Amino acid sequence: MTKRVLVTGGAGFIAHHLIARIIRTTDWDVVCLDRLDFSGNLNRLADIMQDFSAEDRSRIEIVYHDLKAELNPQISEALGDVNIVLHLAAGSHVDRSIEFPMEFVMDNVVGTVNLLQYARTLKNLERFVYFSTDEVFGPAPKGVRFAERDRYNATNPYSASKAGGEEMCVAFENTYKLPIVITHTMNVFGERQHPEKFIPMCIKRVRDGELIGIHANAAMTEAGSRHWIHAADVADGLMFILGLNVNGLERDFGGAKCPKFNLVGPEEVDNLALAQMIADAVGKPLNYKMVDYHSQRPGHDLRYAMSGDYVKQLGWEPRLKLSERIKEMVDWTLANERWLSK
């Protein structure tokens, strides 16, 4: 029998890449749950559907719902007999979380609990994946890469709300025996990303000869750094995790339930080197200035870093180097410039 997958936030940036991967590589049916706010854009799904046959397009359904409200019987019936839940919907704007913290508690904690409560009603649930963030670990000192079960140190309401959602997932696994998995990833980029984000913003400003502010330390001598990962690699990693026998991995975590996996980009790079990589791909000079975001904007950390060693030991890592992914995205974006318009 064909599996049915629920993807929350299905019109979002990362989720639409995952849906494309599912349609291309499986026979599963996909139902997208989205409230279509600032981050949701059905044109993403319309774009990827152009590459699918009519039969494949018919495998995608869209249901409108805001997870701050419980999933009532009508919504549950519309979703159908779901086998896999991929929970990507979230409030994720750090600045907004600092100004409106309760909004993020509602979206990322209450919304997650409402979805978990719905998942408890599913008779054929095989897996529930909660998509979390590297930011739950907080800033990483030089030389430190956080592993899956290191301590959390949220530095803004967004990361705290994602950590809260994680803990509710752990509780529902332990209390109700839901088959839950948690993933952490960081700084995802790719085609059809909102133009306010760093990489598409850099592409646009390099193209137009504009100045780029580089997130740096207080002395403005050291650029912030991240492990960047393409959304297609995130989708690939999630599919790899769905294929694992996670019950056999409990020994890796001292018998703890609710396995956690870091999906990490192929290399760490600082923001200035990344901007230069983008400028090289565009073929124009880089105009930049170092900006002390770290001190001036509370909740923004200079360096995040996670270890991808555990998932690599299990058999997965990104297929392409960061420079190759950047070149792919720059070429695609310049050929599809409407996605640079706000």
Q: Domain residue spans in the chain? A: 4-188+227-263, 194-226+266-303+321-340
Q: Which CATH class is domain 194-226+266-303+321-340?
A: alpha beta
- Single out the catalytic residue among 134, 166, 233, 270: 134
Q: Do domains 4-188+227-263 and 194-226+266-303+321-340 have the same CATH topology?
A: no
158 annotated active-site: yes
pLDDT tens digits, residue range 151-162?
Answer: 999 999 999 999
Task: Say whether domain 4-188+227-263 belongs to CATH 3.30.2420.10.
Answer: no
Look at residue 294 in the predicted model and tell me its pLDDT: 57
pLDDT tens digits, residue range 265-304?
Answer: 999 999 999 999 999 999 999 999 998 765 555 556 788 8
135 annotated active-site: yes
Q: Indicate the SS3 state at residue 307.
A: coil
- Single out the catalytic residue among 118, 158, 288, 304: 158
pLDDT tens digits, residue range 2-42?
Answer: 999 999 999 999 999 999 999 999 999 999 999 987 777 88
- For 208, phi then psi, to 5°, come to -95, 5
Question: What is the distance between the alpha carbons of residues 12 and 32, in angstroms, rounded to a whole number?
Answer: 10
Look at residue 256 in the predicted model and tell me its pLDDT: 78
Contacts of 341 (CB under 8 A, 6+ apart): 195
Q: What share of the chain has pLDDT > 90, as a percent?
A: 82
- Single out the catalytic residue among 29, 107, 135, 268: 135
176 annotated active-site: no
